[in-house]
Amino acid sequence: MTPKEFVAALLPHAQLTEKKTGIPADIVLAQAALESGWGRSAPGNMYFGVKDFDGLNGNEQLVTTFEYSRKPGLSADQIGLHSITSVKPVKINGQPFYKYAGPAYFRKYNTPEESFTDHAKVFLKARYAKALAVRNDPEKFFREVQAAGYAQSPTYAETLMSVLKTVRKAME
């Protein structure tokens, strides 16, 4: 999908999330766009990459992904993967990291609406209280989401700000 098509298709779901959480719809769309590659990588209507750690109740799917850590030699459990297929040293903003790749269990949904509603529930947990407190300031919100551990990418907040600009342009 193009950014314009993505926004047109998913804006109603983001607006419902905004009503439930107070997180502005454009911020919700930016996260969905980044996590799903503008809808190209949303198997099982998985727009937010919410992991399913039990892998037991039928609402999950095994999807190849990657996680970052400053530590080498971590186990799959320690990094949040089902198994590890590769580990590569990388530099991000001049800092050394290890990029772990492998499959992980993620939630799957019958509809995009279910994905957006589940995402809203994630942000209502105490873990994201600092993010919710600054939800009207996208940069602060994204930094707090990153600090709370939503994603392990060291550039998550920075990347979301860039995606937000594209979302806002597509909303015009």
Number of domains in the chain: 1
> Is 67 inside any structural domain?
yes
The per-residue pLDDT for range 131-154, each reduced to its tens digit, is: 999 999 999 999 999 999 888 788
Residue span of the structural domain in which 86 resides: 60-105
CA torsion sign for 106, 103, 69, 165 is negative
Q: What is the pLDDT of residue 50?
A: 84
Closest CA to 82 of 58, 97, 61: 61
> Is 98 inside any structural domain?
yes
Share of the chain above pLDDT 90, in %: 71
Give the span between the Cα atoms of 36 and 13, in whole angstroms: 15
Q: What is the pLDDT of residue 60?
A: 84
In this structure, the number of other CB atoms found within 10 A of the CB of residue 105 comes to 19
In this structure, the number of other CB atoms found within 10 A of the CB of residue 89 comes to 9
> Is 135 inside any structural domain?
no
**Is the pLDDT assigned to residue 168 strictly greater than 90?**
yes
For range 155-167, the mean pLDDT = 96
